[in-house]
């Protein structure tokens, strides 16, 4: 029995699948628990292969589901692993009810990669794929793409295809990922829509100090807002690959990330933010300065106070 918790959906899923080893688990969203899921673990499969249960979005498990899991754990099948995954917000702790459930009989693990550890993590990840990523290349990837491990992982595959057999240095990374200002806008959007206001304001200040055009920054924010609205409109159970195509996104990990971000806002919040962005566009095109308008937009997105966006 495992509980993996943290902020990054990509890292959590990787850790969960690794915990199963060679077992192909059944996956259940915690919000869609119907009852009886644990009974499948004790039922022999037709071909005798081991069973496993992966519970994503475990924070959404109902009290009835937790009671069923607790009863199962009184006499679990040792050959049928159960893994719970809980995505939490910035600075949040593991859900207490899940810790109470798992800790007596299993392992509770926070899954994260610190910003300073990310380049070394990317080097190891590349090595596992048979790709030679230089340390300076890993640092350049973080600078270009931000701190999302899933983005870095996808970028390694892209670089390996573009430069097969070569050592991936910072120069090659720069040649592949031009437009670093745009990448830094993505990082700003990640922080703002995750409601990390201090980090979002620092990111915005860096962009403005570097002379990034305000309308370009606002365009990136607008694009992310529309992506969240599109992803939110798709069925939660739709596979990420299909959702990415319908939403016009490049990578599966973006769907998982954007779904998590969209849950932080109501539909009314998103409508209000769209109105705020439209106001900002009109204001900036009418002569209002970037350093006045953009902080208001970022604060409206990242603040926990809903009144600020209305």
Determine the average pLDDT of the residues in 219-224: 88
Which DSSP string corresponds to the chain? -EEEEES-HHHHHHHHHHHTTT---EEEEGGG--S-TTHHHHSPPTT-PPP-EEEESGGG--HHHHHHHHHHTTS--TTS-EEEEEE--TTPPPPHHHHHHHTTTSEEEE----GGGHHHHHHHHHHHTT--B-HHHHHHHHHHH-S-HHHHHHHHHHHHHHSTTS-B-HHHHHHHS--HHHHHHHHHHHHHHTT-HHHHHHHHHHHHHTT--HHHHHHHHHHHHHHHHHHHHS-TTS-HHHHHHHHT-S-HHHHHHHHHHHTTS-HHHHHHHHHHHHHHHHHHHTT--HHHHHHHHHHHHH-S-GGGG-
Candidates 286, 284, 292; CA nearest to 215 is: 284
Query: Nearest 5°: phi and psi at 214?
Result: -60, -40
Please tell me the class of the 115-176 domain. Answer: mainly alpha
Rounded Cα distance between 236 and 217, Å, is 29
pLDDT given at position 154: 82
pLDDT in tens, 280-310: 989 988 889 999 999 999 999 998 654 444 4
What superfamily in CATH does domain 2-110 come from?
P-loop containing nucleotide triphosphate hydrolases (3.40.50.300)
Give me the mean pLDDT over the 89-109 stretch.
90
* pTM metric for this prediction: 0.59
Which sequence spans correspond to the domains of the chain? 2-110, 115-176, 181-309
How far, in Å, CA of 218 to CA of 197, rounded? 16
Closest CA to 20 of 108, 79, 102: 79
Kindly report the average pLDDT of the chain as a whole number: 87
Structure confidence by residue, pLDDT tens digits, 9-68: 889 989 999 999 878 888 899 989 998 888 877 665 555 577 889 998 899 999 999 999
Q: One fold for both 2-110 and 181-309?
A: no
Cα separations in angstroms, 220 against 193, 212, 246, 277, 298? 12, 12, 20, 11, 12
CATH of 181-309, one of 1.20.1290.10, 1.20.272.10, 1.20.1050.10, 3.30.930.10: 1.20.272.10
- Gyration radius of the chain over CA positions: 21
Please tell me the predicted confidence (pLDDT) of residue 78: 80
């Amino acid at each position: 029995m495992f509980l993996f918790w943290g902020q990054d959906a990509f890292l959590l899923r990787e850790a969960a699948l690794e915990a199963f080893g060679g077992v192909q688990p059944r996956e259940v969203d915690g919000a869609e628990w119907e009852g009886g899921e644990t009974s499948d673990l004790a039922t022999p499969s037709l071909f005798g292969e081991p069973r496993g249960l992966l519970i994503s979005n475990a924070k959404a498990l109902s009290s009835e589901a937790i009671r069923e899991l607790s009863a199962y754990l009184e006499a679990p099948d040792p050959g049928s692993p159960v893994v719970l995954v809980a995505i939490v917000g910035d600075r949040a702790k593991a859900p207490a009810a899940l810790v109470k459930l798992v800790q007596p009989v299993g392992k509770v693990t926070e899954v994260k990669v610190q910003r300073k550890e990310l380049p070394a993590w990317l080097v190891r990840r590349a090595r596992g794929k048979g790709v030679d990523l230089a340390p300076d290349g890993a640092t350049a990837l973080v600078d270009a793409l931000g701190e999302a491990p899933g983005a870095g992982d996808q970028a390694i595959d892209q670089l390996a295809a573009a430069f097969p057999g070569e050592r991936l240095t910072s120069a090659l990374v720069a040649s592949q990922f031009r437009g670093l200002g745009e990448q830094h806008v993505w990082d700003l959007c990640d922080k703002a829509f995750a409601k990390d206001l201090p980090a979002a304001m620092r990111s915005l200040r860096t962009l403005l100090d570097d002379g990034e055009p305000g309308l370009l920054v606002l365009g990136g924010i607008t694009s992310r807002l529309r992506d969240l609205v599109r992803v939110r409109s798709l069925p939660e159970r739709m596979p990420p690959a299909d959702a990415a195509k319908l939403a016009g996104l490049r990578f599966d990990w973006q769907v998982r990330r954007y779904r998590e971000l969209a849950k932080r806002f109501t539909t009314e919040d998103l409508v209000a933010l769209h109105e705020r962005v439209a106001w900002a566009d009109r204001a900036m095109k009418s002569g209002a300065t970037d350093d006045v308008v953009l902080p208001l937009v970022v604060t409206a997105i990242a603040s926990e106070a809903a009144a600020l966006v209305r």
